[in-house]
């Protein structure tokens, strides 16, 4: 049938049109903004007298709202080798509990500076999905009032890892014997993995009988190093 139609109309104007191929490349609905379109200054609320972690959290929420990060969250972590962290996928900014507890009394300005440092990362991600300490991040640092910010913030040690309490313990479920303590929950010790774990040299009596338990604060302070 198609051949007869082509003979009647060699130009092919009357032939049935083939369906268009799906588009393999999706263009962003919003055009990518250039560096000239970055805000020159973001008006943040004045920093109050930060006396406790609750004040830091409240000030962070106010800064997020002023900078257009209202859908981002703020939290705490137990890091001892870094001051803060920005997690774009979770839309979360965290500060180290140990760092804030140490520096609130002697240099609260350092706490605010680290908060703004991480906020610049969040704004860079929201603006152009940029990570790292590149030109977009530096532009947002200037907009937040810290134009001379460096990629790495140096400060005095603020936590002694030896004195940190253990939060997790690996026990033998049959006898309660402690196998090992952990500061953080080991991500590899899932229930499925524990079902196939055993103590070397004691496979018969310990295979599949190890359990991971979280310690309460009172228990964590009393545990010795192992």
Give every residue of the chain whose pLDDT is below 70, as ranges. Answer: 1-39, 155-163, 217-226
Q: Specify the pLDDT at position 218.
A: 56
Q: Specify the pLDDT at position 106.
A: 86
Q: Specify the pLDDT at position 163.
A: 64
CATH number for domain 38-143, candidates 1.10.3470, 3.40.630, 3.30.2010, 2.60.120: 3.30.2010
Phi–psi pair at 191, nearest 5 degrees: -55, -35
Show me where the domains of the chain are located: 38-143, 165-222
Q: Specify the pLDDT at position 102.
A: 87
Give the tens place of pLDDT for each residue, 89-119: 999 999 999 899 888 888 899 999 999 999 9
Q: Specify the pLDDT at position 15.
A: 45
Q: Specify the pLDDT at position 1.
A: 52
Q: Specify the pLDDT at position 184.
A: 86
Six-digit token string for 210: 């190890």
Q: Specify the pLDDT at position 112.
A: 94
Query: What string of DSSP letters covers 113-140?
Result: HHHHHHHHHHHHHHHH---SSSHHHHHH
Give the tens place of pLDDT for each residue, 3-15: 455 455 555 555 4
């Amino acid at each position: 049938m198609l051949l007869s139609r082509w003979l009647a109309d060699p130009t092919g104007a009357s032939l049935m049109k083939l369906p268009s191929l799906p588009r393999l490349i999706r263009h962003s609905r919003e055009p990518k903004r250039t560096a000239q379109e970055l805000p020159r200054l973001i008006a943040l609320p004045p920093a109050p007298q930060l006396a406790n972690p609750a004040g830091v959290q409240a000030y962070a929420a106010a800064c997020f709202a002023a900078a257009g990060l209202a859908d981002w969250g703020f939290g705490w972590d137990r890091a001892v080798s870094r001051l803060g962290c920005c997690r774009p996928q979770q839309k979360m900014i965290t500060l180290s509990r140990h760092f804030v507890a140490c520096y609130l009394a002697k240099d609260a300005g350092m706490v605010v500076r680290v908060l703004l440092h991480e906020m610049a990362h969040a704004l860079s991600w929201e603006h152009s999905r940029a990570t790292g300490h590149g030109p977009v991040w530096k532009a947002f640092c200037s907009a937040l009032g810290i134009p001379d910010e460096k990629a790495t913030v140096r400060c005095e040690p603020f936590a002694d890892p030896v004195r940190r309490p253990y939060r997790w313990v690996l026990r033998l479920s049959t006898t309660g014997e402690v196998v090992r303590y952990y500061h953080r929950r080991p991500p590899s010790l899932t229930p499925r993995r524990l079902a196939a774990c055993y103590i070397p040299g004691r496979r018969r009596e310990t295979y599949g009988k190890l359990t991971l338990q979280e310690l309460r604060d009172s228990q964590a302070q009393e545990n010795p190093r192992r």
